[in-house]
Amino acid sequence: MHTFAKWLGVASMASLLAISAAQARDWNTIKTSGTMVVATEGAFAPFNYYEGTKLTGFEVDIAEAIVKQLGLKMEWKVVPFDAQIASLGQDRFDFAIASHGYTEERAKAVDFTDPHYCTGGQIAARKDGPLTVAALKGKTVGVQIGTSYLDNAKKIPGVKSVKTYKADPEAYAALKARKTDAWISDRWLIHETLQKNPEAGIVAGEHVFVERVSMILRKNNPELKEQLNRGLAEIMKNGTYQALSQKYFKTDASCK
């Protein structure tokens, strides 16, 4: 019994070691397999979203162009935004493109490529609602969980409470339903949401912070990072990036 228990202990220790030793696929392994596995969320228009059953958006198109540039096929994995950094650590995909702004906190857990666009967080509220940072004093703000909007909303002095939602459409719905006084999200996402719903009586307010948005990949995978940066640089040089940026934003979204 004693020996068996010991053996069991050793066996589970060995399988634990095998799990933690599982390596993120390096560039050579990915290249040999012929397919890049990429995660996104699918609820963050115009960056990554569904048009019917089709995954689309600026980031979906950008990633497909980069992967094609690298000579590989593409496999999408749809993963909730707040689970992406943790699942990257479990090697369920090679990189994620889902509007991750660079933060020092995230950089402790994952690597960031060069940015594929620059943007900022913005307030939206009802016309007579709190449309500036100062006006948020004593108010309730809704944000998507796991985002830089949450971090920044928590820093605003005097905010009464910050409510979190699983995805941004729910944060917007909460504002419409008067469960919150304001919503903080990406400025382009807000622009598009308001344009599509002119009857909702929601307007865009002050910009709260700026951020550089990149693809994220598992740490210590320098070759993969280099290839993704090379692919991004290529599509920025050959006009693909500009065409997509004009299509989705009617302007150049790259970081200048």
Q: Determine the interface stretch with ligand ARG among 1-9, 40-48, 67-75, 194-202 (rule: CB under 6 A).
A: 40-48
| 194 CA to centre of own chain | 21
Burial of 119 (0-12, 13-18, 19+ CB in 10 A): buried
- String of contacts with ligand ARG for each residue 217-256, x by CB under 6 A: ----------------------------------------
The single residue among 37, 41, 111, 163 that binds ligand ARG, judged by CB under 6 A, is 41
The single residue among 56, 140, 147, 180 that binds ligand ARG, judged by CB under 6 A, is 147
Alpha-carbon span 216 to 107, nearest angstrom: 9
116 lines the binding site for ligand ARG (CB under 6 A):
no
57 lines the binding site for ligand ARG (CB under 6 A):
no
Closer residue to ligand ARG in complex, CB, 167/203: 167
Q: Which residue reads 């094609």 in tokens?
A: 68
The single residue among 81, 93, 95, 117 that binds ligand ARG, judged by CB under 6 A, is 81
Q: Which residue reads 């995978």 in tokens?
A: 221
Closer residue to ligand ARG in complex, CB, 26/192: 192
CB of 128 to ligand ARG, least distance (A): 27
What's the order of all strands across the beta sheet hosting 110-126? Answer: 73-78, 35-40, 95-101, 202-218, 110-126, 182-186, 140-144, 161-165
44 lines the binding site for ligand ARG (CB under 6 A):
yes
Count, residues near ligand ARG per rule CB under 6 A? 15
CB of 245 to ligand ARG, least distance (A): 17
Alpha-carbon span 70 to 102, nearest angstrom: 24
100 lines the binding site for ligand ARG (CB under 6 A):
yes
CB contact at 8 A, 37 and 218: no
222 vs 93, 113, 217, 219, 228, CA distance in Å?
Answer: 16, 10, 10, 8, 10
The single residue among 56, 140, 148, 227 that binds ligand ARG, judged by CB under 6 A, is 148
Alpha-carbon Rg for the chain in angstroms: 21
Residues in contact with ligand ARG by CB under 6 A are 41, 44, 48, 81, 98-101, 144, 147-148, 168, 186, 211, 213
